[in-house]
């Protein structure tokens, strides 16, 4: 019984670690995407009529 609980806890720890890595990757991607849009807006201004 104790070994089953230990393996379940190991699986939960590993899955939470994988989830954190995925969420961190998404936030890093979104930050880079936001900064790219911001830089393009600053350097490429629309022509005024």
One digit per residue, pLDDT tens: the chain, 49 residues?
Answer: 767 778 989 999 999 999 999 999 999 999 999 999 999 999 988 777 7
* Phi then psi dihedrals of residue 48, to 5 deg: -90, 140
Give the CA angle between residues 26, 32, 34 to the nearest 5°. 100
Query: Cα–Cα distances in Å, from 13 out to 7, 20, 30?
Result: 10, 11, 26
Full-model pTM: 0.68
Domain regions of the chain by residue span: 1-49
């Amino acid at each position: 019984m104790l070994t089953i609980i230990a393996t379940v806890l190991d699986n939960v720890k590993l899955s939470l670690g994988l989830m954190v890595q995925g969420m961190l990757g998404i936030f890093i991607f979104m930050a880079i995407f936001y900064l790219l849009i911001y830089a393009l807006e600053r350097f490429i201004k629309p022509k005024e009529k």
